[in-house]
Amino acid sequence: MPSVTLQTPLSSIHGIGPRFLQKFKKLGVETVRDLLWHFPSRYEDFSAVTDIADLVPREECTVRGFVRKLEMRRAWRKRMFILEGIVEDATGAIRVVWFNQTYIRNVLSEGTPVNLSGKVSVSRDGEMYFSNPTYEIPSKRNEETKHTGRIVPVYPETKGLTSKGIRYIVKPLLERVGNLEETLPEEIVETFGFAPLSEAIRAVHFPDTIEEGIEARKRFAFEDLFFLQLFLLKERMRVKREKAHATPTDAESVRKFLGTLPFELTQSQKKSLWEILKDMERSSPMNRLLQGDVGSGKTIIAAIAARGAARAGFQTAFMAPTEILARQHYETMRTIFADEDIGVALLTGSEARAAYGNGLETELKKPDLAREIAKGALSVVIGTHALIAESKKKKSVPFALLGLVVVDEQHRFGVRQRAKIIEPDEHGYAPHFLSMSATPIPRTLSLTLWGDLDISLIDELPKDRKPIVTKVVSPENRGRAYEFIRKEIKTGRQAFVVCPRIEPAAAEGVLTAKEYETLQIRSVTEEYERLSKTIFPDLAVAMIHGKLKAREKERIMREFGENKINILISTAVIEVGVNVPNATIMMIEGADRFGLAQLYQFKGRVGRGGHQSYCLLFSDSSSDATKKRLLSIVEARNGFELAERDLALRGPGQFIGSEQTGMPDLAMNALRHPEVMKDARSAAMKIITSDPDLKKNETINIRLSEISRKIHQE
């Protein structure tokens, strides 16, 4: 049989028909390399071959015997076929049952030698039997087994393609690819004691022990992280080589401006501001992340940076993830720049507004506003992420002289998008880039995701902020919670109520009405009806969600900000950036249905004024895991401590979303082990320092280009 290469398409492999090719494509597997790097998600230990007489209930094992009896029957009530048989060896016999696997009748027959692997079940009367075991007919040529009598890999599957089917194809392919060319530098393989690539790839799929499989996976996790770090370090070097307009800092002017603010900056705010302003003085582009807890005052730091750019004659593009947040930033900027002779614009899908340095705004048509921006009449332009994104249908906004780009909620941006944003203009000058994130990320993850960025950290809250009192409220105390909300509102305060869904799940076709009633998933529309008509009929209650038109959302948020609405019921649309200092209560329904980072964002919508604020968490789940997660919100002293807990509880894939980062799954899972990350970054730093252009190692360059393409697909 001819050998194959890693680049060989699966369509060229004999025995893989069109139906299987389609299934593999769903898993993103189209070449031999894709398949061999489609690693098992776990292993089952069927290596213990046991005599039937020695079987132990509920243990996983393998038995070897002969089919003595095999019968098919139909269970009419359950609408399924049941294949039942007896398998015996020299020591005894055991009953075997397969459900809805009629094809097995065509494979096994009486007298057929067979291996069975699985967990030994026990019936009510104490009889031991196998239920849906894995079966395998041993080869007469004494070949190594694939599915039984060994450590068996279990793969990520798709409908119609099981782990057993994947094993059938992977096992012979491993033999046919022969020796694989090493992808890691020799010194790294030796330093960390990794197995050669060919050995490691075989050990990942068919290890002799589970420990051997885990150890082999470490090598590939390291490799993914190593090349990811090389990519980020090269990206950092590329940006440093670009030209940018140096923006001088007038320290005295900055001090005077700070003196006009109604608050004093914290020490970490001052430190972060200084780092940003010093970066902008350089003739290479700033590429910095400003990371701070919810409500820590990142926006004012970005505003001062934009002010510096404007005073030097440059424009700032300020992008937010939602129109609500963009409008809020616009209102903030036009207020603080009212006496600064700095023109501020808002440009979103639904609005075009401008304030020319006196705080008074003008509503313009979008083409007119674009012309004003193009001639440099407006220094700070605020919008959503589409502001400077160009598509086939829409051109980006033309700036006269773009000197600074600010992106709010950096965790929604990836490496490719950052690179697109700071592309040089026609004169070869790239804008300075400042990204902000209120999503606390543990340092290990920060280095992994944002290794191309310098990081400034605001790790303290403004001095006048009071800690938010957070409580997990049991269902029986719901009435008391409503009484407490009414009492707060009577003193002039306001409340948010957040629900997991816009409409009842049954109405959206997700669940039947009966299932919905059992699960009690609360929705915005349902809670609005209940709270406005039954619980708080005397109060002003409104609802907001993503299906409303932009102008309607804007009206509701404006009225809530003006305290014309007492209670605002919402989905996660208010998750980021909404600033209503008078709101003191955040009530979260179905809290177990949100991630900890998201709950922390909700919590950060209150506690933004001088009043004591409260976060009330409601959940109908009684599981210990849910209680543990929600108590994390109550006990965590800050967002970074909570992020560490969230990472430990859910793993990095759930924590930040592997699709969002473009990171390989193996590398994502490896982030549970900071030592692997540290080793990979250290090794990448050593390589890039000694060989910045990577001219000495062609293998590294080839692999790096593959990783780069994968990251760029995010």
Residue 397 CA, distance from chain mean position:
29
Q: What local confidence, expressed as pLDDT, does residue 533 receive?
A: 93
Nearest CA-CA partner of 161 in 10, 15, 23, 18:
23
Alpha carbon separation from 689 to 360, 646, 693 (Å, rounded) = 53, 35, 9
Q: What local confidence, expressed as pLDDT, does residue 421 receive?
A: 72
- 425 or 360: which leads in pLDDT: 425
Listed ranges 35-39, 161-165, 548-552, 644-648; the one with the highest mean pLDDT: 35-39
Give the phi and the psi of residue 655 in degrees, each rounded to 5.
-65, -45
Least-confidence region, from 226-235, 331-340, 384-393, 402-411: 384-393
pLDDT band at residue 320, thresholds of 50, 70 and 90?
A: confident
What is the chain's Cα-based Rg? 31
What is the SS3 assignment for 178? coil
Contact 406, 318 (CB under 8 A): yes
Tokens found for residue 608: 């933004």
pLDDT band at residue 643, thresholds of 50, 70 and 90?
A: low
Q: What local confidence, expressed as pLDDT, does residue 629 receive?
A: 80
* For the chain, percent of residues with pLDDT exceeding 90: 31
Please state, in angstroms and rounded to a whole number, the distance separating the CA atoms of residues 183 and 186.
9
Q: What local confidence, expressed as pLDDT, does residue 224 receive?
A: 82
pLDDT digits (tens, 9 = 90+) for 27-77: 889 999 989 999 988 888 888 889 999 999 988 888 989 999 999 888 766
Mean pLDDT for all residues in the chain: 83
Would you list the domain boundaries of the chain? 48-149, 469-637
Q: What is the mean pLDDT of residues 524-532?
A: 92
pLDDT digits (tens, 9 = 90+) for 105-125: 888 888 889 999 888 999 888
What is residue 49's DSSP assignment? B
pLDDT band at residue 714, thresholds of 50, 70 and 90?
A: very low
pLDDT digits (tens, 9 = 90+) for 660-700: 444 445 455 555 566 787 888 889 888 888 888 887 777 78
Nearest CA-CA partner of 647 in 409, 414, 437, 443:
443
User: Contacts for 152-156 with beta carbons within 8 Å, 24 or more apart?
Assistant: 152/43, 152/44, 152/45, 152/46, 152/117, 153/40, 153/43, 153/205, 153/206, 153/213, 154/40, 154/41, 154/42, 154/43, 154/44, 155/38, 155/39, 155/40, 155/41, 156/27, 156/38, 156/41
Helical segments of 491-543, H only:
513-519, 524-530
Q: What local confidence, expressed as pLDDT, does residue 147 receive?
A: 77
Residue 329 has pLDDT above 70, yes or no: yes
Q: What is the dihedral of CA 466, 472, 473, 474, to 10 degrees?
A: -170
* For the chain, percent of residues with pLDDT exceeding 70: 84
Please state, in angstroms and rounded to a whole number, the distance separating the CA atoms of residues 495 and 569.
9
Q: What is the mean pLDDT of residues 195-209?
A: 92
pLDDT band at residue 155, thresholds of 50, 70 and 90?
A: confident
Please state, in angstroms and rounded to a whole number, the distance separating the CA atoms of residues 283 and 211.
52
Nearest CA-CA partner of 497 in 550, 556, 555, 572:
572
Residue 507 has pLDDT above 90, yes or no: no
Nearest CA-CA partner of 301 in 286, 322, 284, 321:
286
Listed ranges 366-375, 452-461, 508-517; the one with the highest mean pLDDT: 366-375
Q: What is the mean pLDDT of residues 394-410?
A: 82
Q: Mutual orientation of helices 596-603 and 624-635 as an angle, nearest 10°?
A: 40
Listed ranges 135-149, 258-272, 384-398; the one with the highest mean pLDDT: 258-272
Residue 486 has pLDDT above 50, yes or no: yes
Q: What is the mean pLDDT of residues 369-394?
A: 80
Q: Which residue has the tokens 């409008």?
A: 327
Q: Which residue has the tokens 């029986």?
A: 476
pLDDT band at residue 437, thresholds of 50, 70 and 90?
A: confident
| Residues in CB range of 570: below 8 A, 6 or more apart | 496, 497, 498, 499, 524, 543, 544, 545
Residue 608 has pLDDT above 90, yes or no: no
Residue 582 has pLDDT above 70, yes or no: yes
Q: What is the mean pLDDT of residues 594-609?
A: 81
DSSP one-letter string for 203-270 = HHHS-SSHHHHHHHHHHHHHHHHHHHHHHHHHHHHHHHHSB-------HHHHHHHHHHSSS---HHHH
Q: What local confidence, expressed as pLDDT, does residue 66 receive?
A: 92
What is the SS3 assignment for 573? helix
Residue 229 has pLDDT above 50, yes or no: yes
Please state, in angstroms and rounded to a whole number, the distance separating the CA atoms of residues 272 and 279.
11
Listed ranges 105-109, 340-344, 535-539; the one with the highest mean pLDDT: 535-539
Please state, in angstroms and rounded to a whole number, the distance separating the CA atoms of residues 167 and 173.
10
Q: What is the mean pLDDT of residues 385-410?
A: 75
How many beta carbons lie within 10 A of that of residue 43, not counting itself?
21
Instruction: Please check whether the domain covering 48-149 is classified as CATH 2.40.50.140.
Output: yes
Nearest CA-CA partner of 433 in 310, 317, 300, 271:
317
pLDDT band at residue 659, thresholds of 50, 70 and 90?
A: very low
Q: Which CATH architecture does the domain made up of 469-637 adopt?
A: 3-Layer(aba) Sandwich (3.40)
- 663 or 196: which leads in pLDDT: 196
Tokens found for residue 6: 């890693």
Q: What local confidence, expressed as pLDDT, does residue 647 receive?
A: 62
Q: What local confidence, expressed as pLDDT, does residue 141 receive?
A: 60
Q: What local confidence, expressed as pLDDT, does residue 417 receive?
A: 63
Contact 145, 62 (CB under 8 A): no
Q: What local confidence, expressed as pLDDT, does residue 444 receive?
A: 55
Alpha carbon separation from 306 to 300, 316, 379, 433, 600 (Å, rounded) = 10, 6, 8, 11, 28
Residue 658 has pLDDT above 80, yes or no: no
Residue 655 has pLDDT above 50, yes or no: no
